[in-house]
Every structure is written in structure tokens, then in C-alpha cells.
Structure 1
Amino acid sequence: MSASTSIDVAIVGIGARAPESRNVDEFWSNIVQGRECITFFEEDQLETNRDLLDNPNFVMAAGIIGDIDQFDAEFFGITRREADLMHPQHRLFLECAWEAFEDAGIDVSQRMRRVSVYGGQSGTSEYLPDDPWRAALVSDLPECERVYLPFSNHLTGRVSHILGLTGESLEVRAACATGLAALALGCRSLITGDADLSLIGAAHLFLPEKAGYLFKKDAFRFSPDGHGRSFDHHSHGLVHTSGVGALLLKRLEDARQDRDHIYAIIKGAALNNDGSARPNYIAPGLELQTECVAEAQVLADVPADTITYVEAHGIAVPMADAIEVEAMRRAFAAQTKKRNFCSLGTVKANIGHSGAAAGVMGLIKTALSLKHGVIPPQVNFEKPHPSLRLDDSPFLIHPEGKAWEQDCSMRRAGVHSFGMGGTNAHVVLEEAERVPRASGEDACRPRIFPLSARTPAALAAMRHRLGKHLRSHPEQCMDDVAYTLALGRKAQPHRWAVVASCREELVEALVGNVGSALPVSGEVSLFGLPTNPITPAFAATESRNRETLENLARAWVNGESVAWSQLYRDEMRYKVSLPTYPFQRQRHWLETLDKSYDANCWM
């Protein structure tokens, strides 16, 4: 049975963790530079498998996120005990979900329309490995707490509960196709009107991260040397890796109306299963993969020869890659006979195979490629494996990467994924139209730039991040920056604001604490403030002069609630992507489990 979508959906927010990438910007930087983000361990770095050191087939490599024991529990209102018990996959996915909302310029604390959540996870180890001491540690836990220990449950439910999201919240399990399967379901919830926003994503942690693996010649998928060579004539498998990603989706017409910044547009998505039409349970099928790609293209209602990049699954197993490329070749052939016009790539050569999160990582890479107009380098590639028959296909591979040329049509791409068990998923993306900047948008005039955080340290980090960001993104309109900060962030207890007339003045205030910056507030509680967001200072802002804006900013810094939307009601401002919250993480692991227990804080 097929689950399909055929309406334009916008990707408006992204949060991610990947090897050597603490955020989306670092992820894109690594991809566009053609970096292989695999860590090769020294013997003293191994967390397990030391008994395999003398085995010549033991490969001490993996793609690791690092600091997976760190989490800002207090920010999310989570007790230390609960945070210790939560699987690190859940903690990281929660952070990425928050970042997706902030990246979209949506204040998740405001009463929102229905938000659906679809996501899944995988992992090579439980959070509780077979260790006698740790088993004894949790043997006396109340039953209501033991539900927090399995890694295979509650990923989406926790996010819905903690962030207050009231739409469908469903776990998706489709092996390596989980991420794109979640995307198809998220799009469908928007199309049917069951949701107005949809948060989708996936998480995969390879635990322990610094473990390495034993290569076996007849085993499936794993590289003998720690390098992934997708599509290459020396391809022989990939590397274990960790990855977490979350994307926020909205109907395109709503995103345009709300003046959101859009990474890419989802034109069509298809989802099916090979059923029995495959050699065995773990092998990919050809016929239904072809049908899945073709269906997504038909639903997208765009000519196949205008799709000029495909982000493939590309697991670097010659047989699997050959079947995948052949399936896509046949789907394209139904519409065009053109050859070698569509670039082919996969993020797995950069970061390894992230299990359930693999499709999400490829989707994020492709959305960023469309946004920046770049086809990134395909790393570890010399020449194609002969089984791919690329000369007789629409595809070609660019080891060095290139600018993404644009003809008369919009840039378009496909993202493909399949998983053990037969699930196939394919998505067709299109670049978002550029918002034209009106002349005089950055004219020298005063604007309010408000920032807030839960702690003084986080506020200081936020100021530093924003100042650095604005220096490196001169294309962002200052009016849009002010608008996004005011309406797109949750108001926190520690507040800071500045009235600045130009970029230089704002950056100087952010990084130097000079100019007209208002002082950080004390412990201003947000609870018990009037629900009606009107302040005495607001009426005076009609003049927009510096003095009245500073009075309004001072009122906000002192804890008053401000109707920012009224301030911008006569202006055509757009949301822009700005640095997200700087979580102040602490170690949370079972060894640090808080021994105190209060049932009232759980039940």
C-alpha cells in the first residue's frame, strides 16, 4: 500500500547533530568543504572491545557526535533524576526539536495551532548495557521510572509533552527509511488538515560511540578500513555513525502568509514496501523502489529532466547501490531519455550511516544545497563502480562539487531512502523563491533587538553568537533580525535589549556591552505576569524615535509583557534564520543518578 503526498510543503526550521557538527551551520560547512567526519580512535580511547585489539579485522573508527552525556535539563523543566534516566537519543532529539522551532522563528511557548510529531530512532545498544553494577543501580527503581530506560520508546511522546504539542505524536519504525517515512507522514498530516505544523525527524546513537567494529568479509555493509566509498569502484561498505535531526514543516501557502524563511519546498513524497518482491528480508527490491521514485515524481508534477540532483541512500554495498541506481534510472526513463544531467551524491560518505536518521541527514544536506545553490563534493570517490552503469543513466558524480547551475526552471532534487524490511521512500524538493529586498531596508533608523535566556551565562553566550552571526551574514536585513528576535523567541527570565540604528552599532553592543545596551535584568519571574500583553510604554512607540523605543525595551527588560506583533503590524517583515539557544549542559548519565525520589514529581 502506498502513502503519498502531493501538496507543496515548506521546510521552515532545522535542528541537527552529526559527527563533528554541533549544529546545522557546522554540518553544512563540513559537507560543502568535502570533509570526511569519521573519527579514528587510539587504543586508549576505546570504551569497549579492547579484547579485539589484536584482531587484524578490528576497525577503530566511527562517526561520533561527542558529549552525549551533556544536557540542559533545567532549561526544559526536567528534574535531574528524570534527565539521568532519559536515553541520550531522546535528550538530543528534544534539543534539535527546540532548535527547529527557534530556527523557524516560532515561539513554541505561545498557544499554537495543532502540531504533529512523527519520528523514530534506532541504536546498537541499550542505554543499560549488560553491566552488573549498572543493572544493580536500577534494580530498585519504581516501575513508573523504568519506562524511561528502553531506547525504543517515547521519543515523540516526550517532545510533545515537554513542548506542549497537541497534534498526532507517533513513533515511526522503518529501519534506515525511518526519517523519510516520518517526513511523508508529516506532510500527509498537513495536507489533510490534521495539523498546521509538523515536526519530523529521527535519532540514532551508536553506543558506546568509541567502540569500533569487527569487519567480516561476508558481513553486510561495514567498511574494512573505516572509510565509506559510496558509488566508487572500491566501494565495500560504510561506517557506524551517530546522527540526530529534526525539521519543522508547514503548508507552503501558510509559510508564505506568515513570511517564514524557507529552506526548500517539498513537491511530492511517496512511501511503499517491496513486499515479497526481493531476494530476502534484508535485500532491497527493484520493482517497488522504481515505483516509489516514479510516484513521487508524478505527485510533484514536475518534469523529471528538471530534477538535477539526487541524494541517494548509497550505502557503499555494490549490489544495493546498483539496485538503487537502476530503480531511479528506470523511473527517470519513463519521462526522459536525457543522459548524465542529474548529479548523484550521498551524505553517508561524509558522516557514515546513521541508521534511522540516515534519511533525515540526507534531507537536511539537500535542503541546504538548494538554499545555497551548491552541489557538494562526493568524498572518497575516484571512478564509478561498473555495476552502476552511469554512462547509460541520467546520473553523474562530481568529486569536487560545483555551483548548482540554474536554467529556466527552479532547482529541483530528489532524496531517496530504503530500509531493511522493504520500506522505500522518495521525496522531490524544489528551491524556495528568494525574497526580494526592498531598497532602503537597512536604512539607519532605531530598532529594538531583545534577547533573553534562562541564565546569565546563556544570555552572554547568546549575545556572542548573535554578534558573530551578524558579522558573517551581512545579507540579512536588520529589520528582519529585530522582527525575528521579538516574535520568534520565548521570553526567558534573564533579559537584555538594545536599541540600535545600524548593524555596526548592534554588533558592538552585542560583543562589547557598550552603546545603548540595556543592562541584564535580575531574577525576573515570567510567571504571574498579566495575560493581556499591553504595557504602558507601548502607546508611545508610534513615533519610533530612539527615546520611546528605549522606554519600551526597558519595560520588557524589567519583566513586562510586550505586544511585539502590534509594533510590527504595519511593516512587511520576514523571519530569518538566527543562532538558536545556547544550552547550558551538565553531565547526565546513569552513574550520576540522583538517589532521591519524590513520586509527586513524576505521577
Structure 2
Amino acid sequence: MISDDDDRIAVIGLACRVPGAVDAAALWRNVRSGVDSVRRFSRAEALAAGVPAEVVDDASFVPAFGHLDGLTDFDAGLFGYRDDEAALLDPQHRLFLEVTWWALEDAGLGRVEATTQVGVFAGCGVNRYLRHHLLGNPAVGPAGGFCDDWDDILAGASSDYLPTRAAYALGLSGPAVAIQSACSSSLVAVCQAAQSLLDFRCDVAVAGGASVVSTHQTGYRYRAGGTLAADGVCRPYDADATGQVFGNGAGAVVLKRLADAVDDGDHVYAVLAGWAVNNDGADRAGFTVPGVVGQSAVVAEALAAADWHPDDLGYVEGHGSGTAVGDAIEIDALTRAFRTGTARRGFCALGSLKSNVGNLDAAAGVAGLIKTVLAVHHGVIPGTLHFTRAHRDVDLAGGPFVVTTDTRPWTGARRAGVSSFGLGGTNAHVLVEQAPTPLAYDANADWAVLPLSAATDEALRVLAARLADHLAGEPGGAHADAAWSLTDVAYTLAVGRRRLPHREAVVARDVAQAVGALRAVADGRAPSPPAEAPGEFRDRAAGWRAGGDLPGGAGRRVPLPGYPFQRRRHWIDRVGTPQLAGGR
């Protein structure tokens, strides 16, 4: 039960697909290692990607973008779509379906009980696929065979349907609410989801967003005085910053009331202790210009909601887009908020994921939150790329903040803030702290059955290989320091995964035995239960393979590798000039 004074929210699952990272584990490896995942194209590469020579050779063209591999591809059958339907679906919707599936699996909730109310709160950007690929394309109308009426496309084309599409595909019956506030959409979604949980409007909530800023993903046109970088490099808070670089991606987190998560034995990455959302109003130089007062107020409100002192924070994941005006206003606002409670200097690290992957627009906030949750979880503060010295309009020396360029251990209390600001003035700030130490318990049974299922035989083999790598201790991942018992793994697979038609089961006494059997499945061989395995475990495995179910038994839900989507190309090529990010 929730105590009267417990208004904290647990992060029990997370997932993302962002430039340079196929999942959250890859993102964590990249940020720890200081990898710049913004892709920069040579002239030959840009031409090969279909950019006309006159565009490539134009002095205003900057061949850089946060490229997302596999943007054209989707596992349509798994989500119940025909090929022609999938080809008309906004790729932002497709990305969000995937990360929602993964995040729920990561939380051990891939199979949701009918009595559990799961809410979905999410936002996405403008549907550029509709604008640049479908509208006016003769391949799409009745003659092309993809649709009989343009109105047939609308349900797959609007941001309104992003959360409801996920709710329908995954059978989630809580509130499904679209959040649209530009770059702050996904972090505002997190705030709304957390509040919905506190108001007992749902039992679990998925929050996040997706963004496809460009379907061509090769570059943009630089305009003097605009917000895009002249050199294709995002340098948050730096003296040489000239603007931002955009990227494509998606992310989602799964939230639950902390007391419920503890009672249910969930794996908790971190805790959301406070949050706030506001708007700058008219107290700024223009509609597209951020406001110091509004940004300062949203940080102060979040701190007050959590009853935290500014001295409590060791890290702030800033909005940090790399624009001189925006970064200067953000530093000023943060400093004002902190100066109401402390006069200390240089004690709080400041960073921005945008230096690694670019600005992910509607997905930027949740991506920054995922980075911060993993930093708090692992006790590591990743460095920010491309920073050498502060911009002349950014006063760091006299303030509470220091931009860290190297990855370092987290000393002191693991408490952090995450900011995301949207064009138009909607600001969000979320406070994150270390999860409580889980209660110890004895979950070491002598034998375990690990049930696997997938939509295809190929996916089943890949799933087995991924689980084997995970149990064998694949280095550098988001869960590399975890040491789950085999009982926990078996329990999570039994109660936290969907039942799909292609099945296999592994009977094992210890991790080494399980890894060997999983490797056999990955190689397409049927694993033989150990001769000494008790008959009841052999029977359970056989029953699972035959289409039956398994009892959950004892154990805790723990993070395991996500489903290996079998993506194929579902894409309608554009007509006319390639769409560049600068045309947004």
C-alpha cells in the first residue's frame, strides 16, 4: 500500500532507438564512451543517398544528421498490420510501437493482466512522411493500390493517434493521451503520466515520444541567424557553438507508484521525486525565444515538489541544444533557481545528450531522461562532447554548474534534474534519484524452466542468442552489472512476456547450463533437458512447447533482452526533391 506521504514514482522499465544505438544498452555504452553518433556524410555518400548534386554542392548544405538506421523497416506482422497498411503508417508511430513493446518487456510487463490499468502518454513530431512521401504521390492513390481514399491514411498520419495506437496494439486499457509541446513533448508526457499515477487514474504508465525530423536523414540547409549549426556539430554551452543538429529517434519509460513497485518486487532503475510543467507566457522576446523567468520557475517548482535543496543535486541533464541564445538563457535560469538556496560554485555537473545524438525533437526529453536514469542507476556521470570553454554569453565560472567532458564516478547522493523546453515556451523539469536498495530474499531454486516464444522461428533463435549473451555477462550494457538469479529470469519469462506461436523451453540448474542450452536453440537445435532434471520440469517444458502455459512461481521481474523485431522494408519512396531537415 502507498503511505500518505509517499508521492514518488518508480522507473521500472525503459527502451529507446536513437542515432548510433539500437537500444538502451547501446545508448549507455555510447554515452559512457563519449561516442558522437551524429552521422556526417562525404560528398560521395550524400550523392549515393540520393541528394542531388546541386544541393550537395550548395554552400548552405550541411551534410550532417542524427541518422537512425532501419528507418524504412518495420515488423508489420507482429503488430497486426498488412504490408500495405504498414507502408502508409507514420514511421514515428512505428518507432513508438516498438519502444513501448520493449519498455513493457523491460519492466517484466510484456503480458499485462486484464485488471491492470496501463496508461499511455506520448507525443511525436509533424508527420513529414505524409507530407513528403504520400501526398501527391501517384503510387499511393487508387491507381497505386495502397489506398482507395485519402481519408484512409488519416488514422496513421496524425499525432493524435500515437498513444491510442500503442494502447490498441498492446491491449492497454488505461488513459491514452497525446501530448504535443514540440521538443518538450516526451518529458511533459512523463510528468503527466506520473501525475496520473499519483491520482490513481492508472496502475502503470508508459510515457515517451518519437520523432522523425527528416525521412532523408542526410543533412540540412544552414541559414544565417537560424538555429541550425553551421558545421554540423552540436556543442552545448560551448564558445564555438553555432546551433543545433537534429536527429530521429524514439524512447519510452514505464512508471509505477514506488510503494507498489517495492511491494510487487519490481526492478527499479531510479525514482522520480518531483516534476513540474509551465509556460514562459509573454515574458520573453518572441514566440520562438525561450524565457528566463519561466525556465527558472519550472526548476524551482520541481525542487519544491520534491522538497529538495539545490545542494542535493549532483547532475543536471540540460536542454543544451547548442544555440548561443538558448544556452545562455538556460544557464541563467538554472542559476537563478539554484541561487535561491545555495551560494556554492561549480558543484553540479551539467550535460546534454544532444552532443551525442542531436536534438531528437519530440523524443529529446525522454531520451535525456533515460540517459539520466541510467547514470543515477550506475553511479556514473557521462561527459558532454564538444565542450572546450563556455560561450561568452554563458556565465559558468560564477555559478553552481560545471560542464563535464569526461565520464566520472558519481560521488555523493545520486540526485539529478532533467530539463526539456519546447518551442512556444512549454517547459518541463523532472527530478531523479537513486532507487531504494531492494529487499534481499532467497530465490535460488534447484531447477528452472526458461520459456521462450516468438512470432517466427528466426526471431526465436535470435531471442535465445540474446538471452544467452545476457546471462553470460555481455560487457558494457545497461544491465552489465546485474547478477540475477536463474529463478528471477525464469519468473520474468513466465509472467512478463507475450505468448507467441513459435516456442522453445530450456531446463537448467544453473546459469552455465542455461547458456549452453540457449546457444543450442540459437543454432537451431532442440535442447535436451539434462538427464538429472526432475520429471516435473521436463513436463513443464514439454507443455510449454505444445502451447500450454507455465505457473509463475516465485521470483522477481528483472530486465532481460527485448524482443528481436524481424523488420522488413515498408516504405513508399518520395516524389520530387529530397526532404532536408532544414526545411522543417
Common fold by TM > 0.5: yes
- Which of 284, 290, 295 lines up with 1:278 in the alignment? 284
Does residue 546 in structure 1 map to residue 534 in structure 2?
yes
CA displacement, residues 546-599 of structure 1 (integer Å, 9 cap, x when unaligned): 22111122112211223x23x32xxxx22211001111111112369xxxxxxx
Deviation of the 1:47 alpha carbon: 3.4
Deviation of the 1:250 alpha carbon: 0.7
Specify the alignment match of 1:525 in structure 2.
Answer: none
Q: Which amino acid aligns with 1:54?
A: D
- Which of 239, 260, 266 lines up with 2:266 in the alignment? 260
Q: Is the 8 A contact 2:47 2:53 kept in 1?
A: no
CA displacement, residues 2-37 of structure 1 (integer Å, 9 cap, x when unaligned): xxx992011111121100111111111111110100
TM-score, normalised to structure 2, is 0.90
Q: Which amino acid aligns with 2:541?
A: A
Deviation of the 1:265 alpha carbon: 0.5
Q: Which amino acid aligns with 1:503?
A: V
CA displacement, residues 169-206 of structure 1 (integer Å, 9 cap, x when unaligned): 11111111111111111111101111111111111112
Deviation of the 1:388 alpha carbon: 1.9
SS of the residue 1:287 aligns to: helix
Distance between the aligned counterparts of 1:33 and 1:128, measured in 2? 37
The structure-2 alpha-carbon separation of the partners of 1:50 and 1:131, relative to structure 1 and needing over 3 Å to count, comes to: farther
- Which of 507, 530, 542 lines up with 1:499 in the alignment? 507
| Counterparts of residues 368-387 of structure 1 (less than 5 Å) | 368-387=374-393
Does residue 454 in structure 1 map to residue 455 in structure 2?
yes
The structure-2 alpha-carbon separation of the partners of 1:513 and 1:545, relative to structure 1 and needing over 3 Å to count, comes to: closer
CA displacement, residues 242-286 of structure 1 (integer Å, 9 cap, x when unaligned): 110111111111111111111110001100011111110000001
Specify the alignment match of 1:589 in structure 2.
Answer: 571
Q: Is the 8 A contact 2:450 2:507 kept in 1?
A: yes
Deviation of the 1:349 alpha carbon: 0.4
Q: Is the 8 A contact 2:262 2:438 kept in 1?
A: no
Q: Which amino acid aligns with 2:278?
A: N
Q: Is the 8 A contact 2:465 2:522 kept in 1?
A: no
Specify the alignment match of 2:32 in structure 1.
Answer: 32
Distance between the aligned counterparts of 1:206 and 1:46, measured in 2? 17
Q: Is the 8 A contact 2:379 2:409 kept in 1?
A: yes
| Counterparts of residues 246-257 of structure 1 (less than 5 Å) | 246-257=252-263
SS of the residue 2:211 aligns to: strand
Distance between the aligned counterparts of 1:43 and 1:417, measured in 2? 32
Q: Which amino acid aligns with 1:398?
A: T
Distance between the aligned counterparts of 1:187 and 1:237, measured in 2? 32
Q: Is the 8 A contact 1:518 1:554 kept in 2?
A: no
| Counterparts of residues 511-550 of structure 1 (less than 5 Å) | 511-513=519-521, 546-550=534-538
Distance between the aligned counterparts of 2:7 and 2:182, measured in 1? 26
The structure-2 alpha-carbon separation of the partners of 1:361 and 1:417, relative to structure 1 and needing over 3 Å to count, comes to: same
CA displacement, residues 358-407 of structure 1 (integer Å, 9 cap, x when unaligned): 1111111100111111100111111222322112111112111201113x
CA displacement, residues 303-329 of structure 1 (integer Å, 9 cap, x when unaligned): 221111000001111221111111111
The structure-2 alpha-carbon separation of the partners of 1:66 and 1:280, relative to structure 1 and needing over 3 Å to count, comes to: same
Specify the alignment match of 1:595 in structure 2.
Answer: none
CA displacement, residues 425-465 of structure 1 (integer Å, 9 cap, x when unaligned): 11111011233655x7557x211111111111111000000
Q: Which amino acid aligns with 1:555?
A: G
Distance between the aligned counterparts of 2:101 and 2:452, measured in 1? 17
Deviation of the 1:56 alpha carbon: 2.0
Q: Which amino acid aligns with 1:465?
A: R
Q: Is the 8 A contact 1:128 1:149 kept in 2?
A: no
SS of the residue 1:195 aligns to: coil
Deviation of the 1:168 alpha carbon: 1.6
TM-score, normalised to structure 1, is 0.87
Q: Which amino acid aligns with 1:507?
A: V
- Which of 81, 84, 88 lines up with 1:85 in the alignment? 88
Distance between the aligned counterparts of 1:485 and 1:137, measured in 2? 41
The structure-2 alpha-carbon separation of the partners of 1:480 and 1:11, relative to structure 1 and needing over 3 Å to count, comes to: same
Q: Is the 8 A contact 2:212 2:249 kept in 1?
A: yes
- Which of 195, 200, 204 lines up with 2:202 in the alignment? 195
Distance between the aligned counterparts of 2:197 and 2:112, measured in 1? 21
SS of the residue 2:132 aligns to: coil
SS of the residue 2:265 aligns to: coil
Distance between the aligned counterparts of 1:575 and 1:315, measured in 2? 37
Distance between the aligned counterparts of 1:15 and 1:23, measured in 2? 6
| Counterparts of residues 303-342 of structure 1 (less than 5 Å) | 303-342=309-348
Does residue 225 in structure 1 map to residue 228 in structure 2?
no
Specify the alignment match of 1:536 in structure 2.
Answer: none
| Counterparts of residues 419-434 of structure 1 (less than 5 Å) | 419-434=422-437
Does residue 9 in structure 1 map to residue 9 in structure 2?
yes
| Counterparts of residues 127-142 of structure 1 (less than 5 Å) | 127-129=130-132, 134-135=137-138, 137-138=140-141, 141-142=148-149
Distance between the aligned counterparts of 1:108 and 1:142, measured in 2? 36
103-112 or 56-65: which moved more? Answer: 103-112
Q: Which amino acid aligns with 2:343?
A: K
CA displacement, residues 77-126 of structure 1 (integer Å, 9 cap, x when unaligned): 22222212111110110011000110000133531422211111114724
Distance between the aligned counterparts of 2:126 and 2:135, measured in 1? 21
Q: Is the 8 A contact 1:497 1:557 kept in 2?
A: yes
SS of the residue 1:127 aligns to: helix
Q: Is the 8 A contact 1:59 1:212 kept in 2?
A: yes
| Counterparts of residues 26-425 of structure 1 (less than 5 Å) | 26-41=26-41, 42-48=45-51, 50-123=53-126, 125-129=128-132, 134-135=137-138, 137-138=140-141, 141-142=148-149, 144-148=151-155, 150-219=157-226, 221-406=227-412, 410-425=413-428
SS of the residue 1:499 aligns to: strand
Q: Is the 8 A contact 2:90 2:127 kept in 1?
A: no
The structure-2 alpha-carbon separation of the partners of 1:424 and 1:591, relative to structure 1 and needing over 3 Å to count, comes to: closer
Deviation of the 1:483 alpha carbon: 1.4
Q: Which amino acid aligns with 1:309?
A: Y
The structure-2 alpha-carbon separation of the partners of 1:97 and 1:514, relative to structure 1 and needing over 3 Å to count, comes to: closer
CA displacement, residues 464-493 of structure 1 (integer Å, 9 cap, x when unaligned): 000011111462222211111111111211
The structure-2 alpha-carbon separation of the partners of 1:260 and 1:52, relative to structure 1 and needing over 3 Å to count, comes to: same
Moved over 4 A (4+): 130-133, 440-443, 517-520
Q: Is the 8 A contact 1:11 1:266 kept in 2?
A: yes
SS of the residue 1:388 aligns to: coil
The structure-2 alpha-carbon separation of the partners of 1:150 and 1:492, relative to structure 1 and needing over 3 Å to count, comes to: closer
Q: Is the 8 A contact 2:443 2:488 kept in 1?
A: no
Aligned residues: 552
Does residue 464 in structure 1 map to residue 501 in structure 2?
no
Q: Which amino acid aligns with 1:191?
A: L
Q: Which amino acid aligns with 1:360?
A: V
Q: Is the 8 A contact 1:235 1:317 kept in 2?
A: yes
- Identity, in percent, stands at 37
Specify the alignment match of 1:600 in structure 2.
Answer: none
CA displacement, residues 490-526 of structure 1 (integer Å, 9 cap, x when unaligned): 12111111111111111011113599x9669xxxxxx
Deviation of the 1:45 alpha carbon: 3.2
